[in-house]
Structure 1
Amino acid sequence: MTTHQDSCGPTQTPDDVDIAALREKYRLEREKRLRKEGSKQYIELEDDFAGYYEVDPYTPAAPRHPISEDIDVAVLGGGFGGLLSAAHLKKAGVDDVRVIELGGDFGGVWYWNRYPGIQCDNESYCYIPLLEELDFMPSKKFADGAEIYQHCRNIGKHFGLYDSAIFSTQVRDLRWDEDVRRWRIGTNRGDDIRARFVVLASGPFHRPKLPGIPGIKDFKGHAFHSSRWDYDYTGGDSGGNLHKLADKRVAVVGTGATAIQIVPFLARDAQHLYVFQRTPSTVDERNNAPTDPEWAKSLRPGWQRERQRNFHSWTFEGMALGQPDLVCDFWTELGRNTAARVLALDDPASLTPEQFMAIREEEDYKLMERLRRRIDVIVEDAQTAEALKPYYRFLCKRPLSNDEYLPMFNRPNVTLVDVSDSKGWNGSPKRGWWRAASSTRSTASSMPAASRSPPRSAAAIPWRRSRAATGCRCSTTGATATRRCTG
């Protein structure tokens, strides 16, 4: 059961690492995968691909008349960012707040993503906000998606945000109107909302993206994005039992945070599963466990903020000397190991920044080598095991944990397709997917939840501000702006 960690020590990592050789290996592996197109290698979900994004499979949009009104604050986005913004405004006494959300409910990524196996991939006690305020404790260390989605809804109810929220509505235009001194918000429902203040809370993962595979539009099988999971096609639910795939060959594109949760379920039920990988993820053991009720009762007021700060210090600030590691898992391991090395010095206080970074780099290489050697122990086929090994610094990609992902590659109906040499998937014939000269074909495909992220899509809302207000004329798409100014 998940309990409070009063003390948490360093882990055992290999000492026989050749740092110079690994630096060169990391460089070569990066260059092998790097594509000069950058974000242009992905397909925008527009026109022929709009159905991957704009269609809500969960909540049909109810017909309504366009809204024309003046309000104090419009919050654009109903995920955690929008919910927290609106909640804190309400707590500060600002009541005239309206959340505008594309989905049919609050939740953001937790509304859209309902794929098999969906869970939080860092500790729920830190990740899920307002636990104390809503008197809620997650049922386990890594909470299921449905539990997190319900908590989002509970935040909306607790702060009365449902009373004014507009769902199933996409913001299409945002411009400053100097005549009325308001932000005018136009939507796909014909609304004209005039707000004194606007909070952009669309978040970094608001819009799915597709791989730019040549011929993807010609694929004749069934394809969907994991953030719009098609249970009508697969059968089952978020707990699995995807029985309709029993006679299907399925391809999964990508091996990131979403994919490693999905593919164990697909492997159990599909006739054959092909996992297409450009860059492997770091995958440690998960050891998910139910929350200890006695530990939960022992917590003092303010415990969540303390835990969040502690996690941040151990994970992202290098280490937190003098503090216990309250989370004590794979996220904080590098900080613990670095701290143990520093404290073993004769005079830790004399350590220079350069010396500290050298220690941390060495511990980083040792931690990653531990993870790579773990793959050799679990995965039986040597070629597959080697392809699954990550060669980059810790936190270069999101650290992941799953107890079923690596063993899954020992199944006879699972094939790892390594596309690192070709920098990704090469193409798709009309009746199936292929890679290079391979004859790999499938009847169904899932694109795990890759999403557009900043800076290009920080807002993803075309916005304009008048020249009279600023002396400039601006036009933007997302967070990319062009500006013409006079005198």
Structure 2
Amino acid sequence: MSQTPLSDSIHGIDLEVLRAKYRRERDRRIRPDGLRQYRSAAGEFGYYATDPYVPRADREPVTDRVDALVVGGGFGGLLTAAYLKKAGLERVRLMDEAGDVGGTWYWNRYPGIHCDIESTVYLPLLEEVRTIPALRYAQGEQIRRHAVALAEHFGLYPEALFHTRATALRWLDPDGEWLVETDRGDRMRATYVVVSPGSLSQPKLPGIPGIQDFRGHTFHTSRWDYAYTGGTADGELTGLRDKRVAVVGTGATGVQVIPHLARDAQHLFVFQRTPATVDVRDNRPLDPRWFQQQEPGWQGRRMDNFLASITGEPVDEDMIQDGWTSTSRLQRAYLSGVQETGLPRQEQQLLDELLDAHTMNGIRSRVDRIVQDPATAQLLKPWYRYMCKRPCFSDHYLQAFNRPNVTLVDTADHGGITRMTESGVVVGDQEYQVDCVVFATGFDVGVSGVLSGTLPVTGRGGRVLLETWREGPRTLHGFYSPGFPNLFHLGSLQNASAVNFVHILHEQARHIAAVVGRAEQLGSRTVEPGPEATESWQATLRQVAVDTTVFQAECTPGYYNGEGRTVRPLNYSPGPVAFHDLLARWRAEHLDEVIAARPGSAGEGSRAGAGR
């Protein structure tokens, strides 16, 4: 390595000592069962089948035809449905297992819920719908209401089906359309099908021995039981004033909900495996006059600026200036693979590691400044690199541990909670008697019905999608596959991702609508990539891939690294800005190649290498 301009001891940082500390803390938390330590929130002990917000209404099975069916009513599904209608499709149907639109913002209504991305760049189509966010980081209820406003604005409710789960998709070769079956007995047909499963839609529970023996009250944060707790998302949980409450989980949800539980419960036990990084949030009201002063197109410019800032692309100014953009350099290698230029790679990695250590030291120092009890402060300090877990921001979380009615229980040395009894939670040999257990244990990230097999897909000639993907997904740009005409996937599969995932979904929705709109313009109504274009895209992904598994392997276990079982995803590593530019070029040069000559054509679509 060439002589680095910075030494390992800058600002008193000894990287070898710090690395050893990080490894010891990681090893305390790694479990041999990995992801198997969790169980589904459905089944005998679970909450997935219940909807606490909207009663499920009986209805007759639907057997009609629509132009497009969008499976999923979160922002991805809403945006795709909206842009498909803009592209000229008349009958666009949303379908969701929830009782209304909103996706994760429909289910998650726990006290304190906010978005951690600034509302001006997170909430899509603000200018068109004329929503003015009240806060810089919007509350969950305003986000949900914005989703409803999108559905109303684009006229999506008349065709929508809620409390409905798709159970099978089958391509009908002679008719050139999809047969869609559901758990409500529906057998509808659709020319186009878009699957938008959401990245945080399937809640999970810890597989704690004895969890089913507990006789107190339990619920998952995504199915918050206000009938038991009282109050609203703003707090005032009066039903907990005489209750000893346990909360399991200290990730992004726990950081938001724990201050409210701490304020209102008689006593709160916080069961922590790994502390979160918690930096300043500084949420504040937004001035409505600011929105009136902006030139048209302001939101798109602001979204693009934020995306470029946090993924390493050059910008003239940082329009957002928050905790995400101020730590963008620490996110680049992990999220996009973008590196600073002008230094050898090893030297750049050393500089980034030193900056990471400096940032994490600041976060740990903040714990010392806020938390009064030294022993509790030590347990709340995160010992890992910045992007090992999703960063959190709060002005109230750490302060909650100064309350006399709050007890932090660290479970790291015991592999998590040891077991549950009829009346309590056990860690090691210590039992904590509680009346209620709140599971803030998150979701199965990125697991769709298509990938899990719960939504079987049969394409052209009887091909079964998961069988054709036995050795891994084969898509063009992550959207569609040979043999499965007019079927589109939304999400992070074989494309690019970012912190503001709604922006990613927005671009995906626009792309799908452009492809469908062109097919309609040509009078084809059949979209299907060819195997050559698909294989070319696989080769491109392999060529540009940045291996993050070494970084992940050194991280404390969590959902970012598969609970310590690191995998190397085949995504577009140059990042979302480059990916969106690539899609724009592809639409200009290759779009017609995925459109068959006529409806129901048996042709394989493109023979061009459209993967670059």
Provide the TM-score with structure 2 as the length reference: 0.71
- Tell me which residue corresponds to 1:375: 367
Q: Which has the higher contact order (CA 8 A, sep 6+)?
A: 1
- Tell me which residue corresponds to 1:21: 17
- Tell me which residue corresponds to 1:260: 255
Deviation at 1:263, TM superposition (A): 0.9
* 1:63-462 equivalences in 2 (<5 Å): 63-317=58-312, 320-335=313-328, 350-448=342-440, 450-454=442-446, 460=452, 461-462=454-455
Deviation at 1:36, TM superposition (A): 2.6
1:200–1:256 Cα change, 3 Å: same
Deviation at 1:321, TM superposition (A): 4.5
Unaligned 5+ segments in structure 1 are 1-13, 340-347
SS in structure 1 of the partner of residue 434 of structure 2: coil
8 Å Cα contact 1:338-1:359 kept in structure 2: no
SS in structure 1 of the partner of residue 426 of structure 2: coil
8 Å Cα contact 2:104-2:201 kept in structure 1: yes
1:258–1:337 Cα change, 3 Å: closer
The separation in 2 between residues aligned to 1:322 and 1:271, in whole angstroms, is: 50
Structure 1, 225-234 or 447-456: larger mean CA deviation: 447-456
Deviation at 1:60, TM superposition (A): 0.5
- Tell me which residue corresponds to 1:344: none
Deviation at 1:349, TM superposition (A): 6.4
8 Å Cα contact 2:308-2:314 kept in structure 1: no
* Residues 36-69 of structure 1, C-alpha deviations (whole Å, 9 max, x = no match): 322211111332035x011111100111100112
The separation in 2 between residues aligned to 1:374 and 1:411, in whole angstroms, is: 17
Counterpart of 2:75 in structure 1: which amino acid? F
The separation in 2 between residues aligned to 1:309 and 1:239, in whole angstroms, is: 32
SS in structure 2 of the partner of residue 445 of structure 1: strand
The separation in 1 between residues aligned to 2:31 and 2:385, in whole angstroms, is: 19
* Residues 353-399 of structure 1, C-alpha deviations (whole Å, 9 max, x = no match): 44333322211111111000110111111111111111122122111
1:148–1:449 Cα change, 3 Å: farther
The separation in 2 between residues aligned to 1:471 and 1:433, in whole angstroms, is: 45
Counterpart of 1:160 in structure 2: which amino acid? G
8 Å Cα contact 1:98-1:166 kept in structure 2: yes
SS in structure 1 of the partner of residue 35 of structure 2: helix
SS in structure 2 of the partner of residue 350 of structure 1: coil
Structure 1, 463-472 or 94-103: larger mean CA deviation: 463-472
Deviation at 1:247, TM superposition (A): 1.1
The separation in 2 between residues aligned to 1:267 and 1:260, in whole angstroms, is: 11
Counterpart of 1:410 in structure 2: which amino acid? N
The separation in 2 between residues aligned to 1:425 and 1:267, in whole angstroms, is: 20
Provide the TM-score with structure 1 as the length reference: 0.88
Q: Which has the higher strand share?
A: 1
Taking only the aligned residue pairs, the percentage that are identical comes to 45
8 Å Cα contact 1:463-1:476 kept in structure 2: no
SS in structure 2 of the partner of residue 323 of structure 1: coil
Deviation at 1:475, TM superposition (A): 8.9
The separation in 2 between residues aligned to 1:203 and 1:46, in whole angstroms, is: 18
Deviation at 1:471, TM superposition (A): 8.9
8 Å Cα contact 2:111-2:235 kept in structure 1: yes
8 Å Cα contact 2:197-2:448 kept in structure 1: no
Q: 1:40 aligns with which of 36, 39, 42?
A: 36
Structure 1, 294-303 or 358-367: larger mean CA deviation: 294-303
Counterpart of 2:343 in structure 1: which amino acid? L
1:125–1:449 Cα change, 3 Å: farther
1:337–1:34 Cα change, 3 Å: closer
1:401–1:38 Cα change, 3 Å: same
SS in structure 1 of the partner of residue 70 of structure 2: strand
SS in structure 2 of the partner of residue 275 of structure 1: strand
8 Å Cα contact 2:330-2:387 kept in structure 1: no
1:457–1:388 Cα change, 3 Å: farther
Structure 1, 424-433 or 322-331: larger mean CA deviation: 322-331
8 Å Cα contact 1:156-1:162 kept in structure 2: yes
